[in-house]
Chain A
Amino acid sequence: MADLNGRGQLLLLGAFALAITLVALTVALTASNYTGTLATESDEISQGGHTIAVRESVERDIERLIVRANGGETGRSPRETILSSAVPVIDEEVAAHHGDDGRRVSATLTGSPFTPGVRIKQTGSGSEPFHDPVDSDPKWRLASSTNVRNATFVLEKQPSPGVLATDPDDGVTLVLGDWSADTAAWEVTLFRDGTDWKLRVTGPSGTSRTCTRPVPITGAEMTVDIDAATMDGDPCQALAFLEPTSTHDIWFENGNAVRGRYWLTVEGTQSSIGRTYSSDNADDVLYSATLDFRYVSSSVIYETDVRVVPGELS
């Protein structure tokens, strides 16, 4: 019996060691499996990407509202009323759509959420030079110490070419800079080179970029959308180079060297931009709106002001 007991203890020892080994192996394999789960789990929401997507969605909605209010109403106050009544609806929709799983999402207007703007324009049916609407001066200041957005030129192509200058120094130029010192930070110049129209953007360091478009046979107009960085509907990399980072005086030079229409929106009121326009040449609009955006979940807390400016050059 003593012999049998000794042999049994050895077997027991072996079985015990095997059990311990299996437990350790199980721990390692379970951890390995957890790693796979951690690596492949779809956690866009806990990672914060969802927060950015929701914020951008709200920004797009407010942008559309500002564009619609500026286009469909007259005067700044009715435009503000449209946004004031529509933003709570967006807030409810955002909260209902994204507020599941314990998340709380809100977008509200607080304090003084609207920034006034002035849309300066020459949008009559006739095709005119880009000169001063009062005294026809080809070099004239549109606004002082301000930001600008939604700058668009619509140039006549036929029957006569809308861009007249063949020398860039004589070409119509939109300047962002210091008017009193006559120094430019940014310049957007249009000129003609043979059968091509060229657009040149010059930055503060003197570096310039140019894009070229042949004047199409068909169509009566060419649109230069400075915010969208397109010329005749196609991307213009020179315009993507335009990135003013502070307020500037804004003026045209060689305004008689072009025929067409233009419009742009500057930040402020007619008194703050130092220029009073007739109703034919300016509208009082909304420049921007500021929202209080909050996104709170178990993994993300994000509270910020969101300034919405459709098409600002920056």
Chain B
Amino acid sequence: MSGRGLVPGPGGEITRRSRGLAARGLDLAERLGDDRSQPAALPHESAFRAAALSADGRWLAAARSGSSRARGVLLVALDGSEAVAEGLTDAWVRSVRFLGAGTEIVAATQDGEVVQLRLDGERLGEVARRRCPSGAADPPRAVSAAPDGGFVAVLLSTATVVGLPWPDGPSWTFDLGEERTNGSNPRLACAFEPAPVGKLAVVGDRVLMFDRTGSGGRLASLPTDFAAGPTALCWSGSELLAVEGSELVRFPLLGGRPETRTLVAGDGGGIGRAAISPSGTIVALDLTTRAAIEVYDPSGRLLARRPAGARGVEALAVGDDGLLAVAQGDGWLTVWAPHRVDEPLLRMRDRAPTPGSAIASG
């Protein structure tokens, strides 16, 4: 279990100098075991930091992050039963995605591992596990999986991309810093997505295309005029869609100029998280100053507006039919069906982590 290094500012100085002793305290606490008589699910303990919807819209995966006791992935059925299966991991899950169709998940953990989990009877069991080359020293920021399930890509904290043919095969890495054009920001914001046709696209301040197999050779590099980097990315036919702030940008990868459309009119205010549906037909934006999430089609037509709650939205996921999942830092998960405006399809708060727990109702 290990936290990130290279945090700037006074907070970074504190966490740097205390890292060794704090890690030893955590290890000792693990050995001594948790005191289960203590309340185990304080709100801040069970924050959600990542979420994903399955391609068929029947499942929601949500990754816990908070204290070391609250870690792992919840798989929630969206068939009305609200059944929950729980999979525990050794370290916090930073990002989660479905691996192909069905109920298999890949989770990137704080200690630099990618774990494949599968719904097995009443719980999520581990199927495969791979370690990123730099392990806990450079923890993952995001994970993505190809639709065919044969490839997983990980974006590390230092803006390095790791390609992992799944579940085995030689991995490759690429330092995006070499492609940086603004020069000054060591933590490049970027999004990335594998294509069904054997390529991986990474968009930061350039659009990069990689051969996802073999050595991960670079295939193309196109300039962008992003200021802060995209917050969501998706393939749509021969186009790559990227969201930056309130703008949706289409990159025609077979040639031509990118096309930009502003989705939020006028005083949209601050934009936080964003999500694009698997086929690029729906875009969801977290309007932080309005405490709302707005759902658009790619032409900019507003399809729905949902309340976001008082606490910050940590993760968004949206389906091609407009199904919208929202994970919040205070442990609430909310799923909105596209055509229901009165109340959400599902609203639940995380419970105390219970190792080996069965699928439970509610």
A binds B: no
B residues apposed to A, CB below 8 Å? none
A residues apposed to B, CB below 8 Å? none
